Amino acid sequence: VEGGDHLNRELLYSLLDSYLKNDVVSIQESIVHHVEFTLARSRYKFDNREAYFAAAHSLRDRLIERWNDTQAWLKYKDPKRVYYLSMEFLMGRTFLNALHNLGVIAPYQEALSGLGYEMENVQQAERDAALGNGGLGRLASCFLDSMATLNLPAWGYGIRYEYGMFRQVVSEGFQKEQPDYWLTFGYPWEIERPHVTYPVKFYGHVSVHEEGSDGRQNFVWNAGEEVTAVAYDNPIPGFKTPTCANLRLWAAKPCQEFDLEAFNTGDYVSSIIDKQKAETITSVLYPDDKTFEGKELRLKQQHFMVSATLQDIVRRYKEQHKDFDAFPEKVAMQLNDTHPTLGIPELMRILMDENRLGWTQSWDITTKVFSFTNHTVLPEALEQWPVSLVEKLLPRHMQIIYDINWRFLQELQQNHGISGDKLGNMSIIVDTEYGKMVRMAYLALVASHTVNGVAAMHSKLIKETIFKDFNAIWPEKFQNKTNGVTQRRWLAQCNPPLAKLITDTLGTEAWVTHLDLLQGLREHAEDEEFQQKWAGVKKEAKVKLANMIKDLSGDEVNMEAIFDVQVKRIHEYKRQFMNILSVVLRYDRIKSMSPEERKDVVPRVVIIGGKAAPGYDLAKRIIKLISAVSETVNKDSEVGDLLKVYFVPDYNVSLAEVIIPGSDLNQQISTAGTEASGTSNMKFAMNGSLIIGTMDGANVEIAEEIGEENMFIFGVDAKEVPELREQREYLQVDPQFQHAVNMIKNGHFGWNDYFNPLIDSVTGGRDWYLLANDFNSYLQAQERVDSEWRDKKVWLKKSILSTAGSGKFSSDRTIHEYAEDIWKVEPQPPSPPEGRRE
């Protein structure tokens, strides 16, 4: 439908009228049809995986209908659209989400069971689409769900990596990375668009031509390499709305026309092999979150993604507009961190070199369409590309970046009276010991009309630290947009018993789109009958998590224990090491107790999961330490089921959907000022899990919403951190911290030499993340956890209040704010006349 020219209202209505039927028999027919004609299997005998693929194709048909209708509707209305540019989308599974958002779980369940298949088993056949590292990529996926649900005219753009986030195997306690070739059996949720292709150029040189009577300079980029970007569309259904948004992912293919003479040099086979290199651009997701690596292939990926995306956006705009005057009224683009920042010089190049606009007009347009989100203040994550590399790969872009910088520095001097060191500090291009670098965050800042942080504290911090000088000249550019998560996936779909209890209690299902309604649970928080029901649904979720632990360890865990969870990427600043040190102390304490004393111990099951970047040595040692402690503790018969420790391998979206609902307590214990927001904290709160955490990132706002008294807050404030870091060497080390460290050092868990670098990182005046400093306060918070667990009513009340107070953290709220304050886009619900739909 995209590209259809003569759409009028009548044609649209007839399109909107043509829905496939969703009664059980129609669904069964469509499933069996796909078994026979899509999978080419016998319709009398197919296994769970084939049932999954057939059911997925049947559902995909229904998504495609909505996708076509939505896109036709938008083309007809031509509203301002928003494009979310991200190098990562951590989608997880799609089947249940699509069923739920289309409102067809029940008929599909019945259809499948009538054919002899259990929905649960069929679902398990789906592999995660893991095209992201962690928080940033999962946020992008939650945002797509909310944009579709809010009927926004929105598309996501990214890369169709052939290998997603690596699969983590833990062997003898060591992380091993295995390739995630997720496309093995095909991916039923994408629509290949072999005709939606664009050339993407690399290398070569730029020539200048004087043109016309005004002697205007005209730049021509003669590329040295060209590849083709092919579109793959992934329909994103909104919840109970006909709107179906689009996630367009690009794959690299060899370019047909380019360099044809290579084939005529006689070496036909080598020419083919050379061409294959094109595909390597989109082969693999870089698995480091937060360490900038500076690899050429990564820069190629970034340019590949934004170049194809901008060509696509400009083409779509030009189909309906004769000039670029209205571009800023029709297009908004959000940069998910600095990774897509090359889109800025690419748009400038397209406007100036390919559409003959002048600098002033091109810059005016560019600065009206881009906005940018920062996700971290850690200096090692900030992207700085060597000028020499950018120059080699993208010679024309480097010229444009120089020009942007030159004009920016002029402006600083003339309009802001800035000179000398200060001028150099703000320059997009900086001279370092490794040569000249392009500071991507500065480029993004200069060209964006708005920059935002991802939680109130983080947005305040970026103004005071990494972007201080920019805040001084452009305070109006800075905003906060506190993160959120989609309650469809993270409550309704992953925790049906709790969802049902909430719906029954509130007397409405409206919380699925209006999460603030959860406030209505407050009045029931102390009602004993309700508490018993709450305990019942929590137990159901705990049983699922216990089954998962049984599958991985063979152990039957104590259901009366606190299920204490820390799941997130392994990083020093997230302080998994501090968690395990407190586990070591707990173990030691239990060991020193008499059998009588042990009767009073509150049993714990400690669950830790997360991936270490393959090159992050200390993070890998932390995994080994957790495994070593786990091995010693779990086989100690004296400790029994008072304490168990599990490292869950290959933590991913699908495991999170089991782990989060099943937890009683979750750890959000980063050094204050380091975690930009966190988003699992929100998912845990929604599912009634209590937070033990620091006043960092979104924890601060969660405490405002659910009440500090319903959390276990500890540790220093962010404002004390810089000074404490200064004083680290001279601070008195907490004796309990020292004791726990010594147990590891002395080989209590084996492998002591291997743990030395870890121990060194937190002792001897190092301890950048202040583990020793926060340790005592952490232990006290843990004491409070135990004592409040003993009083079931107190705990249940807090659990209910956690869910009740989590309404703010819906990504619907976040996206509504982006739409109003940054993008200025409006909902476009497809609206046929009464009675024509369904």
Among the listed ranges 15-23, 33-41, 599-607, 675-683, the one in contact with ligand 475 (CB under 6 A) is: 675-683
Q: Which residues of 95-105 are buried (b: 16+ CB within 10 A; e: fewer)?
A: bbbbbbbbebb
Cα separation of 611 and 521, whole Å?
36
**DSSP state letter for 338:** S
Quick one: which of 249, 317, 237 has its CA closest to 89? Answer: 249
In the range 258-287, which residues lie near ligand 475 by CB under 6 A?
none
- Least distance (Å) from ligand 475 to the CB of residue 132? 8
Q: How many helices (H) and strands (E) does the chain have?
A: 33, 24
- 676 lines the binding site for ligand 475 (CB under 6 A): yes
Which of residues 186 and 294 has its CB atom nearest to ligand 475 in the complex?
A: 294
The reply to whether 808 belongs to the active site is: no
Among the listed residues 100, 569, 620, 624, the single catalytic one is 569
Nearest-approach distance from CB 675 to ligand 475, in angstroms: 5
Give the residue with the Cβ less far from ligand 475, 39 or 454: 454
- Decide if 280 is catalytic: no
3-state secondary structure of 370: strand
Decide if 683 is catalytic: yes
Q: Which position among 375, 575, 624, 808 bears the catalytic label?
A: 375
* Position among 679, 694, 761, 810 found at the interface with ligand 475 (CB under 6 A): 679
Phi, psi of 508 (to 5 degrees): -160, 155
Scan residues 399-458 and list those touching ligand 475 (CB under 6 A): 454
Q: Does 572 bind ligand 475 (CB under 6 A)?
A: no
Q: Which of these, 118, 810, 234, 57, lies nearest to 492 by C-alpha position?
A: 810
Q: In the complex, what is the shortest distance from the CB of residue 139 to ligand 475, in angstroms, rounded to a whole number?
A: 4
Q: Is 136 in the site for ligand 475 (CB under 6 A)?
A: yes
Give the one residue of 107, 135, 158, 237 binding ligand 475; rule: CB under 6 A: 135
Q: According to CB under 6 A, which one of 290, 300, 586, 621 is a site residue for ligand 475? A: 290
Candidates 56, 82, 99, 139: give the one binding ligand 475 (CB under 6 A). Answer: 139
Comparing CB distances to ligand 475, the nearer of 395 and 678 is 678
Candidate segments 10-18, 252-260, 673-681, 733-741, binder of ligand 475 by CB under 6 A: 673-681
Run of H or E residues at 413: helix 395-416
* 574 in active site: yes
Q: How far is the CB of 135 from ligand 475 (least distance, A)?
A: 3
Is 349 annotated in the active site?
Answer: no
318 annotated active-site = no
Q: Which two tokens stand for residue 203?
A: 């290398």
Residues 6 or more apart from 797 whose CB is under 8 A from it? 525, 526, 531
675 three-class SS = coil
Minimum distance between the CB of residue 380 and ligand 475, rounded to whole angstroms?
10
**Which residues neighbour 368 within 8 Å (Cβ) at sequence distance 6 or greater?**
327, 328, 449
Report strand pairing: 225-237 vs 244-254. Answer: antiparallel
For residue 483, state whether it binds ligand 475 (rule: CB under 6 A). Answer: yes
In Å, what is the CA distance from 149 to each residue of 95, 239, 514, 623, 759?
Answer: 17, 5, 11, 39, 48
> Cα–Cα distance between 301 and 87 in angstroms, integer?
8
Tell how far CA 580 is from the center of its chain: 26
Among 235, 662, 697, 830, binds ligand 475 (CB under 6 A): 697
The residue within the footprint of ligand 475, chosen from 395, 649, 661, 678 (CB under 6 A), is 678
- The answer to whether the CB of 728 falls within 8 A of the CB of 720 is no
Chain-centroid distance, C-alpha 173: 27
Q: Is 167 in the site for ligand 475 (CB under 6 A)?
A: no
What is the smallest separation between the CB atom of 290 and ligand 475, expressed in angstroms? Answer: 5
> Quick check: 693 binds ligand 475 (CB under 6 A)?
no
Query: Which one, 378 or 733, has the nearer CB to ligand 475?
Result: 378
b/e burial code for range 211-227 (CB count within 10 A of at least 16 → b): eeeeeeeeeebebebbb
Q: Which residue is nearest to ligand 475 (CB)?
A: 135
Name which position in 162, 180, 233, 289 contacts ligand 475 (CB under 6 A).
Answer: 289
Residue 182 or 809: the one with the smaller Cβ distance to ligand 475 is: 809
Query: Where along the sequence are the contacts to ligand 475 (CB under 6 A)?
Result: 133-136, 139, 289-290, 375-376, 381, 454, 483, 675-679, 697
**Mind telling me the catalytic residues?**
375, 568-569, 574, 679, 683
